[in-house]
Amino acid sequence: MAPRSGRVITAALGAALCLWIWSLAGVLFVIRWTSLERPALVQPRPFVRGEMRVGVDASYPPFAVATSDDLWGLDIDLARALGDHLRTPVRFVNLGFDGLYDALLTEQVDVLISALVVNPAQMDRVAYTRSYFDAGLVLVAPAESDVDTMNNLPGRTLTLELGSEAQGEANRWLRRVLPFDIAPYETPAAALDAVRLGSSDAALVDQISARLYVREHPDWRVRQSVVTHTLFAIAVRADQPRVFAAVNRALDLLEADGTLRTIIERYL
């Protein structure tokens, strides 16, 4: 019986050793497999022509301006940053503003990046990305002032551009609150001059004008309060969901990493 028991023990030890060796081999295989570098999965490109064709009206500084040999502006830098994120070359197609949507819908361009205001009337044919800039009206007052909303205007003087959207908005507020004085000027800059020089309590101007003016007068400390929203967004054909998703996602990333803010502050 002893020899047989020895053979059983030997066989059991051999099986255990064999199992241990196979287990060790399996562990080493998994470690080696997971450490191997593999090529990234190739994602289908949203732009079938291998480039992002951007429709732009390059006659609207500081968003887009055409020079003799190039384009520059906020929208131009934004398009190039999007192209970098999407790893796609960018080609600009300079168009008149009235021809932008026609160029998009007839596939002459892939996207429109041209200070476009979101237009509900276009939404059956066009998809708009999230907004990248708000050009709405802002109330501008000296930093030490307590005028931070339109509700604080009664008994004060408000300057604005004659015949502008700001004048229409001020007239609407006159029907909501106690009277205040309106002093119209020829330009938003002149309206802001009046506030800076102390002849008015506040100015109502679009955010582009406010940013440019404050940029030119860096020593003037102001407070700005948003009154209305005018959202600029990128337009894509509604039948191109992959293009829309790719551009919208890239725009999110540009905001998250601070690139969008850097571009805006470069010009405004």
Does the CA dihedral 105-106-112-115 come out positive or negative? negative
Predicted confidence (pLDDT) per residue in 80-93, tens digit: 999 999 999 999 99
How would you classify the pairing of strands 157-161 and 202-206? Answer: parallel
Question: Could you tell me the pLDDT band of residue 17, with boundaries at 50, 70 and 90?
Answer: low
- Token pair of 90 as six digits: 């960018």
Helix axes 74-86 and 259-267, enclosed angle (nearest 10): 160
Predicted confidence (pLDDT) per residue in 192-245, tens digit: 999 999 999 999 999 999 999 999 999 999 999 999 999 999 999 999 999 999
pLDDT at residue 178 tops 60: yes
Q: Taking the model in full, what pTM does it have?
A: 0.81
DSSP for 171-225, please give it. Answer: HHHHTTSS--EEEEESSHHHHHHHHHTTS-SEEEEEHHHHHHHHHH-TT--EEEE
DSSP summary character for residue 236:
E
For residue 133, give the nearest of 229, 203, 243 by alpha carbon. 229
Query: What number is the average pLDDT over the span 131-136?
Result: 98
First and final C-alpha spacing in the chain: 97
Q: Tell me whether residue 25 is exposed, middle or buried, using C-beta atoms within 10 angstroms of its C-beta: 0 to 12, 13 to 18, 19 or more.
A: exposed
For residue 158, give the nearest of 179, 183, 188 by alpha carbon. 183
